[in-house]
């Protein structure tokens, strides 16, 4: 009898639910079978109704609107939940599907796999829409009309990136955008807003009678910045995307300057199935050419053209080009025009797979800034610049073979020479020089009693030519040379690992023995691509520390040192790497005299190099630190050092930075670099913090930079102001600026606002 009574109640409840609660009319209930308040409260379609879901989609093809993921409908005391809400516009049906639960105003609950909404309940859902997105943002509207074929209309619509935008203490945070009506045209993605307004921290700050945007992509919105410079005056930039389709974009970059007038940049981007091209033109008629001292800048019309393209003609291959031309090379710098690829005109092809890399380029290098024709003639052209890398994995246990090929042919019209405090530098000679190199090597790793031993065998072939067209007495004569370099090396490491009470320790002694039987440490005749060397813990265990192919190490060299690491279960760690390098036999390539001063002051010039040490670590992901030091073992003096220390927790943050490099007169550097600085952020209230920074030039006993500011940041709204003053030895000396920042953000990645700086008067340039 009880089982039969339960079935009667269940059938009666479902009938009442479908025919009464969802129809929005008061039920007639059976006396004695159900309580008097069992699903008998009528639905008022004019009462506030909210629909929440993780995702809302509108399919033009099927004419169906879907809300998916944790769907919740609240209407006049009723709470309806399910996995999916489906509105079929063609037949007017609205269903809730999957784990459906309906709770009436009195707490009665009914569950079923599916539920059909009709009449007043359906109207209530459409007339009061609230969508809570997965990132916490929220869209509300009093009425949603999807009945027009290609349009969606929301009445009294509001968007907030932070839900209710009220924190746990009841304070307003974030920002919101409201409009009396929002109409979205599905055919082109455009949006029309009637009387849109913007509120920040609950306070309205902006209003427009009407706003039309081609797309709600943030690129459509102008992103204005305001700055001031002596040469431009007050400057307002407002770049935005003016037109966009699946294959075409047009971007405009208007700029208004009180001293120079109006400048416009326009870029056309065209996309294809297998690539894209872009063309950007920027220009203006100068209002006051006396603002610039460089002769080429004193002209009425100035501008630049930049174009680039990239295509994938076949799988794994990319071909492209880039070209830029300007009325004068100082235009980019004078008007802060985005350089992009303007510094290199080139045509290239690149092939990349898991084991092969090919890159072929023809390049012309443009010298940007205030430069004369003579300086531009010193810049070389790569005709061509080729690179090939190929890896061959041998059968298991047999190791790996690597092949590396390079070819660089450079033409330069004029010698490129200069000096620093009387020390000469020849960066390149006039004429045409060619250098090709191919290196093949084999290596494999073996384990002997816990030691990891990696032998390395290789051979390098070089071919070089120079036509001797330079008039410099220091330039080489016309010549051709060929070279063959056998290479043999072995890397031995003995890692020792232990674990104790939540800490893993690794101690790893390392020794490398490297032999390069080169006849000359400079196989390229002239040195174009190996003009810098850095010796620290990152290059300690390297078989060749030169950056290019025009120079190489020579003779027999021993690198010794080790690594220690301690890793804690909470993510904290400490890593120490250190050691030294020794020239055991043959010529020390870093001590060889050269007109590029390569190797001088690196710590590798003597047979026993400087000692190098690197220390890095973190504590509970709050305190992070890192440091490098280079020590002259002859007198234990420090040649170079750097230290960085940072801390961040609960809004508090700080950083300490230190840098030192001793003077090296042989390179023309006659002054020690010795700087120390600190940066601090202190929270003074919820969302509010004070920032400050100070840097001091210890060598000159003068401040380098000092500044401070105030910032509000609740995660959605950022408002800040800061003043910075530089000292006499700063790269921008004696400069004081005020920086203001205002940004609106959302979890989905929207980041729009203003950031600008104004130079304060009364400060020497």
Q: For 227-279, what is each residue's pLDDT tens digit?
A: 778 899 988 888 888 887 778 989 999 999 999 999 999 999 999 989 999 99
Euclidean distance between CA atoms 515 and 439, whole angstroms? 15
Residues 6+ apart with CB under 8 A from 412: 377, 378, 379, 380, 381, 428, 429, 430, 431
Euclidean distance between CA atoms 10 and 34, whole angstroms? 10
Quote the tokens at residue 42: 């009528």
Which of 371, 370, 409, 372 is closest to 387 using CA atoms?
Answer: 409
pLDDT of residue 177: 84
How many other C-beta atoms can be found within 10 angstroms of the C-beta atom of residue 734? 13
- Mapped onto helix, strand or coil, the DSSP state of residue 677 is strand
pLDDT of residue 112: 67
Residues 6+ apart with CB under 8 A from 440: 401, 402, 403, 404, 458, 459
Q: Do residues 605 and 533 make contact, with C-beta atoms less than 8 angstroms apart?
A: no
Tell whether the torsion through CA atoms of 140, 146, 150 and 153 is positive or negative: negative
The residue count for the chain: 765
pLDDT of residue 565: 96
Q: Which helix (H) or strand (E) holds 122?
A: helix 119-127
Residues 6+ apart with CB under 8 A from 255: 235, 236, 237, 238, 262, 263, 264, 265, 335
Euclidean distance between CA atoms 426 and 412, whole angstroms? 13
pLDDT of residue 107: 73
Residues 6+ apart with CB under 8 A from 170: none
- What's the CA angle centered on 392, arms 387 and 393, to 5 degrees? 145
- Mapped onto helix, strand or coil, the DSSP state of residue 186 is coil
How many other C-beta atoms can be found within 10 angstroms of the C-beta atom of residue 516? 22
pTM above 0.85, yes or no: no
Quote the tokens at residue 336: 């802060």
Tell whether the torsion through CA atoms of 13, 17, 19 and 24 is positive or negative: positive
Residues 6+ apart with CB under 8 A from 293: none
pLDDT of residue 743: 85
**In the block, which residue shows the tokens 């890397």?**
491
Residues 6+ apart with CB under 8 A from 590: 533, 553, 598, 599, 602, 604, 605
Q: Do residues 506 and 496 make contact, with C-beta atoms less than 8 angstroms apart?
A: yes
Tell whether the torsion through CA atoms of 577, 580, 584 and 588 is positive or negative: positive
Report DSSP state, residue 22: T
Which neighbouring-strand residues pair with 64?
A: 59, 88
pLDDT below 70 — which residues of the chain? 1-50, 56-61, 89-90, 92, 108-110, 112, 118-136, 142-153, 184-191, 213-224, 748-750, 761-765
Which of 532, 497, 346 is closest to 427 using CA atoms?
Answer: 532
Which of 455, 465, 453 is closest to 493 using CA atoms?
Answer: 453
Say how many CA atoms lie within 13 Å of 287 toward its Cβ.
Answer: 12
């Amino acid at each position: 009898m009880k089982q039969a009574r339960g079935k009667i109640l269940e059938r009666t409840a479902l009938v009442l639910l479908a025919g009464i609660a969802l129809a929005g009319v008061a039920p007639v209930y059976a006396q004695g079978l159900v309580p008097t308040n069992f699903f008998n409260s009528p639905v008022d379609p004019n009462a506030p109704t909210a629909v929440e879901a993780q995702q809302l989609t509108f399919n033009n093809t099927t004419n169906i609107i879907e809300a998916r993921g944790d769907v919740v409908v609240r209407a006049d005391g009723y709470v309806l939940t399910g996995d999916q809400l489906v509105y079929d516009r063609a037949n007017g049906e609205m269903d809730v599907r999957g784990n459906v639960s309906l709770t009436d105003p009195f707490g009665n609950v009914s569950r079923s796999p599916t539920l059909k909404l009709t009449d007043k309940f359906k109207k209530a859902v459409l007339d009061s829409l609230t969508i809570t997105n997965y990132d916490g943002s929220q869209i509300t509207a009093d009425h949603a009309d999807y009945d027009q074929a290609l349009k969606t209309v929301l009445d009294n619509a509001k968007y907030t990136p932070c839900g209710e935008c009220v924190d746990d203490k009841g304070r307003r945070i974030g920002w919101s955008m409201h409009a009396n009506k929002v109409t979205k045209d599905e055919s082109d993605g455009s949006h029309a807003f009637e009387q849109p307004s913007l509120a920040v921290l609950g306070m309205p700050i902006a209003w427009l009678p009407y706003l039309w945007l081609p797309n709600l992509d943030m690129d459509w919105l102008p992103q204005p910045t305001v700055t001031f410079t002596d040469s431009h005056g007050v400057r307002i930039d407002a770049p935005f995307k003016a037109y966009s389709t699946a294959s075409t974009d047009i971007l405009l970059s208007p700029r208004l300057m009180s001293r120079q007038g109006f400048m416009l940049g326009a870029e056309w981007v065209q996309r294809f199935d297998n690539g894209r091209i872009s063309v950007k033109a920027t220009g203006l008629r100068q209002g006051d050419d006396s603002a610039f001292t460089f002769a080429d800048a004193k002209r009425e019309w100035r501008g630049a053209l930049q174009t680039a393209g990239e295509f994938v003609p076949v799988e794994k291959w990319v071909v492209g080009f880039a070209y830029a031309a300007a009325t004068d090379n100082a235009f980019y710098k004078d008007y802060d025009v985005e350089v992009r690829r303007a510094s290199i005109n080139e045509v290239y092809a690149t092939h990349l797979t898991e084991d092969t890399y090919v890159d072929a380029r023809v390049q012309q290098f443009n010298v940007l800034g205030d430069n004369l024709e003579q300086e531009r003639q010193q810049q070389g052209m790569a005709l061509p610049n080729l690179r090939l890398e190929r890896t061959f994995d041998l059968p298991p246990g047999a190791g790996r073979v690597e092949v590396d090929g390079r070819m660089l042919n450079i033409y330069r019209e004029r010698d490129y020479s200069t000096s620093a405090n009387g020390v000469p530098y020849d960066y390149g000679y006039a004429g045409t020089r060619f250098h090709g190199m191919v290196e093949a090597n084999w290596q494999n790793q073996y384990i002997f009693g816990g030691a990891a031993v990696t032998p390395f065998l290789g051979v390098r072939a070089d071919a070089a030519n120079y036509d001797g067209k330079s008039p410099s007495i220091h330039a080489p004569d016309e010549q051709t040379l060929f070279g063959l370099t056998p290479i043999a090396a072995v890397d031995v490491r003995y890692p020792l690992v232990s674990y104790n009470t939540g800490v893993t320790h690794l101690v790893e002694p390392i020794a490398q023995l490297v032999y390069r039987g080169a006849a000359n440490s400079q196989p390229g005749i002239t040195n174009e691509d190996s003009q810098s060397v850095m010796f620290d813990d990152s290059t300690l265990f390297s078989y060749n520390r030169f950056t290019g192919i025009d120079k190489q190490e020579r003779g027999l060299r021993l690198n010794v040192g080790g690594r220690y690491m301690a890793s804690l279960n909470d993510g904290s760690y400490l890593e120490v790497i250190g050691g030294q390098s020794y020239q055991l036999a043959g010529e020390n390539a870093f001590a060889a005299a050269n007109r590029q001063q390569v190797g001088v002051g690196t710590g590798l010039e003597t047979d026993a190099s400087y000692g190098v040490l690197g220390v890095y670590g973190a504590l509970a992901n709050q305190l992070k630190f890192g440091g490098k030091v280079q020590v002259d073992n002859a007198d234990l003096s420090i040649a170079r050092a750097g230290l960085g220390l940072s801390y961040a927790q609960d809004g508090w943050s700080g950083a300490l930075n230190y840098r030192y490099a001793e003077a090296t007169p042989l390179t023309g550097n006659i002054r020690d670099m010795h700087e120390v600085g600190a940066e601090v952020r202190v929270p003074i209230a919820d969302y509010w913090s004070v920032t400050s920074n100070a840097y001091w030039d210890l060598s000159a006993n003068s401040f380098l930079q000092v500044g401070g500011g105030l910032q509000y940041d609740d995660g959605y709204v950022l408002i800040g102001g800061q003043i910075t003053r530089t000292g006499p030895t700063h790269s921008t000396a004696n400069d004081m600026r005020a920086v203001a920042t205002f940004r609106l953000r959302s979890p989905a990645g929207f980041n729009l606002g203003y950031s600008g700086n104004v130079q304060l008067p009364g400060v020497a340039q």
